[in-house]
């Protein structure tokens, strides 16, 4: 079975360049299908989730290729079908963005309910509420979401989201850009990749205003053209390296980041006694011998990201004192705690709260990455532990981290992929 073997105890040092954002890429790739011409997305990471989405688009009839020095080239001509069956979409949660895109393009969509990380219930009622507000009929039949418009297609409308949902905000934006009239999304998600997508759509000729605030106004246009647009740096990958530097008492320059997107993580690291120095598009992180225990509560952006609490827990496992991590976004995102306990961590989980009593040292052990971010936590724990940690479930990690082993080795870590 493939595993990552990590020998801990070496402080990370040097510099690491952060790749493009996974979650921005998986929204922008399907968005390219809304245009009548070719788009080129720059800085798209080479990760499994991107490959899978590329294959989904190819099977729907679009042409997707990577061109050296240009980026991911997506030609939507040839894209003709409104059906995305389970075999195609099961591996990727973000395939639900095809619902918004297909509805916008064809007034009809049939997309199987997607897969993705198993981190608790992940309903899509808010996406459906949005499509219905825009005039679509939506039913769920045999695991497939079927949506269609009657008459003249989607019509702009106000949509109030009951929960702040990144996915629903993006999907409604995708559906609304070609709708007739004005759509206003209230209580919208403000994550950086929502803004990245809005900027890409606008570069294609869309009229999206207010992305990054909780009210997004989308004035429908008749057609969109292809465009060349960059994907923002991945803030979760950046946070992972920042926390890894802190956990190993290292000194790492994390480059190609937007420090503003990392404010909540930097603030918590500083509270824990870690030095975080911002300089342009990089941050330098200098870890202390042992971090102080701090409490974390996950919240929608600009709060502390749910995708970063796992690596933070790995850091807190060795902190001086007791820390509390509250997860407010998902109902089951502490599955990794059992794995950290195998390495000597002292963690109690009570519902959506993990209480971590810092220990002097963690010990290497065989552990399993039960999902993507849990996998990152195992690697960070392994880097700061004594001895060898074998991390199984590598496929989860490869979904979202580009060249993780090479990047860690470049920072002096002893890590290898055993196939």
Query: Shortest distance, CB of residue 337 to ligand EPZ, whole angstroms?
Result: 17
Q: Which is nearer to ligand EPZ, 8 or 30 (CB)?
A: 30
Of 215, 220, 157, the C-alpha closest to 188 is 215
Residue nearest to ligand EPZ (CB): 167
Residues that contact ligand EPZ, how many (by CB under 6 A)? 25
Query: Shortest distance, CB of residue 249 to ligand EPZ, whole angstroms?
Result: 27
Distance of alpha carbon 320 from alpha carbon 329, whole angstroms: 27
Q: Which is nearer to ligand EPZ, 106 or 330 (CB)?
A: 330
Instruction: Tell which positions 88-147 bind ligand EPZ, by CB under 6 A.
Output: 93-94, 117, 121-127
Query: Shortest distance, CB of residue 4 to ligand EPZ, whole angstroms?
Result: 18
Distance of alpha carbon 105 from alpha carbon 402, whole angstroms: 32
Binding flag, residue 307, ligand EPZ (CB under 6 A)? yes
Of 394, 396, 356, 382, the C-alpha closest to 119 is 396
Q: Which is nearer to ligand EPZ, 253 or 377 (CB)?
A: 377
Q: Report residue 7 CA to chain centroid gap.
A: 27
Query: Shortest distance, CB of residue 204 to ligand EPZ, whole angstroms?
Result: 20
Residues 6+ apart with CB under 8 A from 131: 99, 100, 103, 138, 147, 154, 171, 172, 175
Instruction: Tell which positions 25-44 bind ligand EPZ, by CB under 6 A.
Output: 26
Number of residues written out for the chain: 419
Q: Which is nearer to ligand EPZ, 236 or 269 (CB)?
A: 236
Q: One symbol per residue from 211 to 250: x for binding ligand EPZ (CB under 6 A), - otherwise; what is it?
A: ----------------------------------------
Residues 6+ apart with CB under 8 A from 83: 110, 111
Torsion 418-312-14-42 (CA) sign: positive
Query: Shortest distance, CB of residue 385 to ligand EPZ, whole angstroms?
Result: 23
Distance of alpha carbon 146 from alpha carbon 160, whole angstroms: 22
Query: Shortest distance, CB of residue 372 to ligand EPZ, whole angstroms?
Result: 5
Instruction: Tell which positions 342-401 bind ligand EPZ, by CB under 6 A.
Output: 372-373, 400
Q: How many helices (H) and strands (E) does the chain have?
A: 14, 24
**By the 8 A CB rule, do 192 and 217 touch?**
no
Of 162, 260, 176, the C-alpha closest to 216 is 176
From the list 16, 188, 231, 329, which residue makes contact with ligand EPZ (rule: CB under 6 A)?
Answer: 329
**By the 8 A CB rule, do 268 and 291 touch?**
no
Q: Which is nearer to ligand EPZ, 149 or 306 (CB)?
A: 306
Q: One symbol per residue from 143 to 172: x for binding ligand EPZ (CB under 6 A), - otherwise; what is it?
A: --------------------x-xxxx----
**Catalytic positions, written as ranges:** 117
Backbone angles phi, psi at 61, to 5 degrees: 110, -5
Residues 6+ apart with CB under 8 A from 284: 251, 252, 253, 254, 275, 276, 277
Strands 346-350 and 353-357: antiparallel
Q: One symbol per residue from 174 to 193: x for binding ligand EPZ (CB under 6 A), - otherwise; what is it?
A: ---------------x----
Q: Which is nearer to ligand EPZ, 166 or 218 (CB)?
A: 166
Query: Shortest distance, CB of residue 269 to ligand EPZ, whole angstroms?
Result: 19
Q: What residue spans of 166-290 are helical by DSSP H?
A: 166-176, 192-203, 235-247, 263-271
Q: Which is nearer to ligand EPZ, 22 or 318 (CB)?
A: 22
Residues that bind ligand EPZ (CB under 6 A): 23, 26, 93-94, 117, 121-127, 163, 165-168, 189, 306-307, 329-330, 372-373, 400
């Amino acid at each position: 079975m493939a595993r990552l073997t990590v020998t801990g105890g070496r402080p990370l040092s040097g510099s690491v360049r952060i790749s493009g954002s996974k979650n921005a890429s998986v929204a922008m790739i399907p968005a390219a299908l809304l245009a009548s011409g070719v788009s080129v997305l720059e800085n798209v990471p080479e990760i499994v989730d991107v490959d899978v989405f590329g294959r989904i688009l190819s099977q729907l009839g679009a042409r997707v290729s990577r061109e050296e020095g240009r980026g991911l080239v997506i030609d939507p001509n040839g894209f003709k079908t409104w059906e995305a069956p389970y075999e195609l979409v099961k591996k990727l949660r973000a395939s639900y963005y095809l619902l918004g895109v297909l509805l916008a393009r064809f007034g009809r969509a049939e997309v199987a309910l997607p897969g993705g990380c198993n981190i608790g219930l992940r309903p899509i009622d808010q996406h459906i509420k949005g499509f219905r507000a825009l005039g679509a009929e939506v039913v769920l039949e045999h695991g497939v979401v079927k949506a269609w418009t009657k008459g003249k297609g989607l019509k702009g409308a106000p949509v109030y989201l009951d929960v702040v949902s990144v996915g629903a905000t993006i999907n409604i934006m995708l559906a609304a850009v070609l709708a007739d009239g004005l759509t206003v999304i209230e209580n919208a998600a403000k994550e950086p990749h929502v803004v990245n997508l809005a900027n890409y759509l606008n570069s294609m000729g869309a009229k999206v205003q207010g992305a990054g605030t909780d009210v997004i106004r989308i004035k429908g246009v008749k057609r969109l053209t292809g465009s060349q647009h960059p994907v923002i740096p991945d803030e979760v990958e950046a946070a992972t390296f920042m926390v890894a530097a802190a956990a190993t008492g290292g000194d790492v320059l994390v480059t190609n980041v937007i420090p503003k997107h990392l404010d909540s993580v930097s603030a918590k690291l500083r509270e824990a006694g870690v030095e975080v120095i911002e300089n342009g598009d990089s941050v330098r992180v200098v870890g202390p011998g042992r971090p102080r225990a701090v409490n974390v509560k996950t919240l929608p952006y600009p709060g502390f990201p749910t995708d970063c609490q796992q690596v933070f827990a790995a850091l807190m496992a060795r902190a001086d004192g007791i820390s509390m991590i509250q997860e407010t976004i998902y109902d089951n995102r502490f599955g990794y705690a059992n794995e950290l306990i195998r390495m000597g961590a002292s963690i109690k989980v009570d519902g959506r709260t993990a209480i971590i009593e810092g220990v002097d040292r963690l010990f290497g052990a065989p552990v399993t990455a039960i999902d993507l971010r849990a996998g990152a936590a195992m690697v960070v724990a392994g880097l700061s532990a004594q001895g060898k940690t074998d991390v199984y479930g590598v496929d989860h990690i490869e979904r979202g981290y580009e060249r993780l082993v090479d990047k860690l080795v470049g920072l002096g870590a002893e890590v290898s992929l055993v196939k």
